[in-house]
Structure 1
Amino acid sequence: MALVPRRTAASPSASSSARRGARAGVAITVFAAASLVLSACTVGSYDGDRADGGGDFADDGCTSVVVATSSEKVNMLDALAKAFKESPQHDALAECATVHPINVSSGDATRFLTSGGDWPDEDRRKPTLWSPASTVWTERVAAAASPALVGEPVSFTHTPVVFGMPETMAKALGWPDRPIGITDLERLCTDPAGWGSVGKPIWGSFKISKTNPNTSTTGLSAILMQSYEASGKTDGLTADDVAAAEEFSRAFEECVIHYGDTTGKVLNTLYDDTQHGAGGSGYVSAVALEETSLLNYNLGNPDSHTVQPGETLTPPQEKLVAVYPSGGSMWSDNPVTVLGADWVTEARHTAGEAFIDFLATDAAQRILPEYGFRPLDESVPLGKLFTEEYGVDPGLPAVTLPRPGVDVVSAAIDQWTQIRKPSSVLEVIDISGSMDDGIGDGRSKLDGAIEGAQTTLEHFRSTDEVGMWAFTTGAKAEDGMNLLSLRDVSPLGSERERLASSVADLRYAERYGTPLYDAIAAAYDEMVDRAEPGRINAIVVLSDGQDTDSKLSIDSLIARIGKSSGEGGGDAPVRIFPIAYGDGADTAVLQRIAEATGGQWFDASDATKIDLVFASVINNF
C-alpha cells in the first residue's frame, strides 16, 4: 500500500468537523487517574513492532486504531487509550475500538510519509493516527507530500524545550537566581577556558548534547531557538534571520559532544555516569531536551522506557534542573491527527476521530500531568511533579517562541547540515561466516549490512572523514591480520560511489571467525592517533556474534579503550557505537564497550530493521 491521500474512505463528517472545532470547550467530569509513572517505549528511533517495550498487541475483536507517536508519549497514550474505553466518546461508536500506541520518532514518521512509498511495517500495525512531538512535522508533510495526508492536526498537550543541566553546574552559572540565556551557553562554548571562565577549571570544556534536527523535535527546536537568540527576536523569525545567525549557531555547535537520534540514549549515558560517582561533568554539561524527559530522568527513568510491574526506579545521584532560556523557549505542541492514507478504513477513521475528541476532555487532560506533560486546559492542576524537587518551574518559560513557517524551518535544517560539527568516523563491519545467514526478507545478514553501510554515505559531507574496515579471521591487509581496509579514514570528497562499490565487494570476501575484540582495538588505536579536537571522532562497529578468535580479552580491551576516551579524558575523545546485529550478537559485551567510551549501543536483534538502525546510528554524526 502506498502512502497517498486516501480516496476510498469517506472524508471527516460535518459532525466530526464540528466536534473538532468545539474540542477546546469540552469538559467531562469523569476522572480516570493514571498511576504516577513517567514512562515510554524507547527502542531505537523506530519501534513499530512493540507498543510496550517487549510485547505485541493482539486482535481483541474491536476496531484497531494504531497511533504512531514520539517515544516519550507511548505510555501516556496507553493510559489514555484505556480511559477512552470508559468514555462517552467510545460509547457513542457503533462498535468498540482499541487504541494501540507504537513508537516512531517524529522525523522518521515524516520521512516515511513523504517518501511516497509504503509504511515500513505489516498492515495491522500501520497507523490510523499520528502524534508527532510538534506541528512542525505535520506541516512539513503537508508541504512535501499532501495536506490531505495529515488531515487536521489538533494539539492535545504541550511541553517546553529546555536545557537540562546537573544542578551543581547550573548553580555555578547563577541558577536559579540569575536568568541564563543561550548566549551565556554560547560564550562558555567558545571560551578556551571553558568552565574555568566561571571559576571551575577542573570541569574542563563546556559540552552540550543535542539531537539531530532531521529526526528529533528537540534538535529542531534547539537550532530555531539559536536563531531567535542571535536575531534578538521573540516573534516573526524569518529565513533571513536564520542566515544571519549562521556564525552564532556554528560556534554553538562546536561544543556538541555528538548528535543523538534520541535524548534517551544520551540521558542513559549520563545517568550511568552519575550512578558510578562521576557526577556528570565528565560526559556532558547541558542537554537540550523536553521538560517531560527531564522529569523522567529525575525519577530514575532516563530513557523513558515502559516501567514494568514491580520495577523500582532509582533517582540519579544528581538531578538535572531545567534551564528555561531567558530569550524564550519553543514548545512541543504534540498534535494528533487521522492520517489520510489508503489503509485507514472508514471504521478506523471514525474511531480515531472519537479518540481525538476524548483527548480534549477533562478526564483526559487530568491524566497528562501524571506523565510529565502540561495540559492545554490551564484549570487542570499540575500536581507534585512540576516542582523544584523534580528540577522544574511551572511558572516558566516566561517567553514563548512561536513556531516559524515551513520555509524558515527548512532554512534552519539546511543551515545545520552545513554548520554541524564535522565528523571523523571509521565503520568496522563483521564479515564472519554467520553473516551468510538469511534475515527473512530475501537478504542475508551481509546484504543488509552492506546496504545499510552504503546508505550512511549519503549523510556525510565531502569534508567529513570516513573510513571503512571489515574483519574476519584469515583476512590480511596492511592494517593487520584479520582486517580488510576498504578505505582509510580521510575526507570523503567525491568518493561516495567508489566506496559504495568497495563495500559491495564484501559479498565475495572469504569469511571465517569473529576476532571482534582485536578488530575494535586496532580501530581504536587508529582513531586515537588521528583524533582531533573540534571533530566528532567515532567508531561504528557492527557484529552479529560473539568473539571467537581474538588474542585480546574483553577486560583488556575495556581497560585499553576506557582509559582516555571518556569525555573527561582529553579534548579529542574517541567514542564507539556498536550495533548488535541479529539475535546471536553479544549485546552485553557491545553495551559494555559503548559505555566505556561514552558512546551508545544499538539493538538490531530484528535483522530486517538493520537499515533503520544504521540510520539511527548515523544521526549521531
Structure 2
Amino acid sequence: MSARRTASRPLFRRTSAVVATAAIAALVLSACTGGGEQPEPDAGQGFPDDGCTHITVATSSEKVNMLDELAAAFKESPEHDGLETCATVRPTNVSSGNAARYLTSGDDWPSDDRALWPTLWSPASTVWTERVAAAASPTLVGEPASFTRTPVVFGMPEPMAKALGWPDKPISITDLEGLCQNPEGWGSVGKDIWGAFKISKTNPNTSTTGLSTILMQSYEASGKAEGLTAADVDAAADFSRVFEECVIHYGDTTGNVLSTLYDETQNGANGSAYVSAVALEETSLLNYNKGNPDSHTVQPGETLTPPKTKLVAVYPAGGSMWSDNPITVLGADWVSAEQRTAGEAFAAFLQTTPAQEILPEYGFRPLDEAVPLGDLFTANFGVDPAQPTVTLPKPEVDVISTAIDQWTQVRKPSSVLELIDISGSMDEPIGDGRSRLDGAIEGAQTTLDHFRSTDEVGVWAFTTGVSSDQGEGLQVLRDVSALGADGEKLDSSLDDLRYAQRNGTPLYDAILTAYEAMGERAEPGRINAIVVLSDGEDTDSTTSLDSLIAKIGTQSGEGGTDAPVRIFPIAYGEGADTSALQRIADATGGQMFDASDAERIDLVFASVINNF
C-alpha cells in the first residue's frame, strides 16, 4: 500500500430522516437522491476563536485545498475590507449529490458542529443547484454564480491511450463503446494480454462526473452537440446499456477508484487488470498525476509521489460537458444576516483577478481567460489546454431526470453476497442506543431498495458454533439469487440475526468460502462482489491471512479475468483489523470502507452498496 493520508473522520448527528434518505441509494425523485459517497462534513476544518464571522463552504473534496487558499487570500482583499466585521471562511467536504439531498430533505444540516452548517454551497455543477431549486425552493439555493470550471474526460493509462491512437487520433465515446462490445476487448487493437476493456464510472445520483458521463453518452448516441431532449435520452438506452456492460463497478467517488489504480501502479502492476479508463474531471486527473489520487486535503510538509504510469486525458471527439463549479449563499434559516453579508463578499472575491490567478495552481481553469494556465496544464501532466474543442451544454432539468431514471434501468446488473460478522463483540453498544449488530442489520436493511428485482443478492453470517450447507462457521440467511419480490422477506431474515448465537470470529475462513462460492457462479455480465462487515480480528480460522491473500489474488495478473469477484470490506468499530481488511480488498481490486465510528454504519453501508 502507498502511504496516503486518510481524510479525517466526520462527525454526524444521526437523525432518522437523514439516515433513511442516505441509505436508500436507488431512490430517484425530482430532487437528487440516492446513496453515495460517505457524507463528510469534515470535523477537521474547525474555526479559530478569532472574533470574526464564521463562514462554512460545503464543497466537494477536490476544491477543499483551493478554497483554503482562497479563504486566506480573501482576508487580504478589498471585498473583506468592506465588511464591518472580519470574516473567516472554511471549506467542509460534502459531495455535490449528498449536499443536494440534505438541502431538499427539509431537515437540519447533519453535523454535530453547528459551526459547520454551511453559509455557502459550492457543488461541482449548477446541475445540482437547479435540481434543488426545482425540488425544494429557488430561494434556498440563492443566486449561484460559477467561478471556475473543469471538463469531464476519460483518464487512461498512457500506454493504453497510445494503443488507441492517442494523441494523434481523436477518440470518441463510440470508440470506447466498441471496445466494450467487442468480445476480443484489447485484443481487437493487438493487445490481447490486456484482456477485457474496463471502465470505471461513478454513481450519477451523487457524483457530478457520473451524471455528466451518462448525459455525454446520450449526446453521443443522438449525434447532437446541443439541444439534448428527453426523447434523445430514451432513444440512447441501448447504446448506454452496452457502455455500462464494461463498467467494473460504480464507485461513490472517483477518488476511491483512482486510489486503487495508484496503488497497483506503484506496486509494479500497470493497472490493466483493474481498469482501462476512468470517467473523471480533468482536475482529478491532474491531482492523480501529482500523486494525490483521492484529491485529499494536502497537509503542510506532506510529500506527494507521482504515479509510475500517468493517466492522460482523452477528450471525447463528440465533446465534453464541463463542471462549472458555482458558489451561492444559501437561503437556509440557519444563515444569519452577518453570515449572508460575509458570504456574498467571499463569492464576489472569487470573481476577481487575484482569486482567479489561484485556480490553475489547483488544476482548475479560471473563467477569466486572461489568466494564464501555467505549467500544470501541459502534456507532462497528461492534459491538453486546447481541449475540449466541443462543449456539450447542460440539458434542462427534466432531461437530466430522465437520464438518471434511465441509468437505474440500464446500469450493469450486480451479484452481491453480504457477509456479516455476528461474533460476540457485535453485542457491544455503539453509543446511539443500538448494539453493533443492530447497526449492521439496519444498515443492510435500508440498502435493499437499491437493488432491482433482477439483481442477485445473498446474505451469510459467520461465527463459530454454527454450520450450514456452506460449511462450519457459516449461517445462510439467503443464497445468492435474483432478489425478485423477496425484499420484505430478506428484511425479516436480517432481523432474525438479533437472536443468533454469537461466539468467535472465523473471518478468513468465511471470506475464503464466500469467495470460492461466488467465483463458481460469477458471470462476465455482472458486477460480482462480496461485502464483508467485521468488527474485529480473526480469532478462529484455519486459513492464515497470507494463504487467503494468495488464493483470492489470482485474478490480479495482467489481463485479469472476465468475471472478477471483488471484495468490499467494512471495518466496523475501532477494533476492526483494518490492515488485514485493506489487504483483502487490494488483492481483489475492491475497496475498504471505514466505519470505525460505528454510529455511521448506516451511511457507510449505503456508500458501499452504491458501487453496485
Q: Given the two structures, how large is their TM-score scaled by the length of structure 1?
A: 0.91
Residues of 2 paired with 1:615 and 1:111: CA distance?
14
Contact kept? 2:149, 2:323, Cα under 8 Å:
yes
For 2:387, the equivalent position in structure 1 comes to 396
Using the TM superposition, give the Cα deviation of residue 408 of structure 1 relative to its aligned residue in structure 2, in angstroms: 0.4
**1:32-71 map, 5 Å:** 45-51=38-44, 56-71=46-61
For 2:602, the equivalent position in structure 1 comes to 611
| Code of the aligned partner of 1:260 | G
Contact kept? 2:57, 2:119, Cα under 8 Å:
yes
Using the TM superposition, give the Cα deviation of residue 484 of structure 1 relative to its aligned residue in structure 2, in angstroms: 1.4
Contact kept? 1:167, 1:319, Cα under 8 Å:
yes
Moved more, 236-245 or 599-608: 599-608
Residues of 2 paired with 1:59 and 1:160: CA distance?
39
RMSD: 1.7
Are residues 1:86 and 2:76 paired? yes
For 1:114, the equivalent position in structure 2 comes to 104
| Code of the aligned partner of 1:502 | S
SS class of match (1:564): helix
Residues of 2 paired with 1:502 and 1:600: CA distance?
27
Question: Which of the residues 302, 305, 323 maps onto 2:296?
Answer: 305
SS class of match (1:540): strand
| Code of the aligned partner of 1:84 | F
For 1:18, the equivalent position in structure 2 comes to none
Contact kept? 1:51, 1:100, Cα under 8 Å:
no
Question: Which of the residues 320, 323, 336 maps onto 1:345?
Answer: 336
Residues of 1 paired with 2:429 and 2:370: CA distance?
56
Q: Given the two structures, how large is their TM-score scaled by the length of structure 2?
A: 0.92
Residues of 1 paired with 2:519 and 2:69: CA distance?
48
SS class of match (1:578): strand
Residue identity (%): 77
For 2:63, the equivalent position in structure 1 comes to 73
Residues of 2 paired with 1:528 and 1:341: CA distance?
50
Are residues 1:574 and 2:565 paired? yes
Are residues 1:380 and 2:371 paired? yes
| Code of the aligned partner of 2:126 | T
**1:463-612 map, 5 Å:** 463-564=454-555, 568-612=559-603
For 2:198, the equivalent position in structure 1 comes to 207
- 1:380-416 per-residue CA deviation (whole Å, 9 max, x = no partner) reads 1101000011000000000000000110000000000
Using the TM superposition, give the Cα deviation of residue 565 of structure 1 relative to its aligned residue in structure 2, in angstroms: 5.8
**1:139-178 map, 5 Å:** 139-178=130-169
Contact kept? 2:251, 2:611, Cα under 8 Å:
yes
Residues of 2 paired with 1:115 and 1:476: CA distance?
44
Using the TM superposition, give the Cα deviation of residue 566 of structure 1 relative to its aligned residue in structure 2, in angstroms: 6.3
Residues of 2 paired with 1:213 and 1:594: CA distance?
24
Contact kept? 1:283, 1:566, Cα under 8 Å:
no
Contact kept? 2:195, 2:561, Cα under 8 Å:
no
Residues of 2 paired with 1:100 and 1:442: CA distance?
33
For 2:7, the equivalent position in structure 1 comes to none
Question: Which of the residues 181, 184, 188 maps onto 2:179?
Answer: 188
Using the TM superposition, give the Cα deviation of residue 290 of structure 1 relative to its aligned residue in structure 2, in angstroms: 0.3
SS class of match (1:458): helix
Moved more, 500-509 or 264-273: 500-509
Residues of 1 paired with 2:190 and 2:325: CA distance?
40
Are residues 1:367 and 2:354 paired? no
- 1:268-289 per-residue CA deviation (whole Å, 9 max, x = no partner) reads 1111111122112221111000
Moved more, 182-191 or 95-104: 95-104
| Code of the aligned partner of 1:103 | N
Residues of 2 paired with 1:51 and 1:249: CA distance?
40
SS class of match (1:81): helix
Residues of 1 paired with 2:358 and 2:436: CA distance?
44
| Code of the aligned partner of 1:48 | P
Contact kept? 1:51, 1:103, Cα under 8 Å:
no
Moved more, 57-66 or 525-534: 57-66
Q: Decide whether aligned partners of structure 1 residues 51 and 374 sit closer, same or farther in structure 2, where only a CA change above 3 A counts.
A: farther
For 1:12, the equivalent position in structure 2 comes to none
Using the TM superposition, give the Cα deviation of residue 567 of structure 1 relative to its aligned residue in structure 2, in angstroms: 7.9
- 1:163-209 per-residue CA deviation (whole Å, 9 max, x = no partner) reads 00111111111111111111111111101111111111121111111
Residues of 1 paired with 2:312 and 2:350: CA distance?
29
Moved more, 557-566 or 577-586: 557-566
Q: Which runs of 5+ in 2 are unaligned?
A: 1-12, 16-35
SS class of match (1:160): strand
Paired positions, count:
580
Q: Decide whether aligned partners of structure 1 residues 114 and 567 sit closer, same or farther in structure 2, where only a CA change above 3 A counts.
A: farther
Q: Decide whether aligned partners of structure 1 residues 62 and 424 sit closer, same or farther in structure 2, where only a CA change above 3 A counts.
A: same
SS class of match (1:549): coil
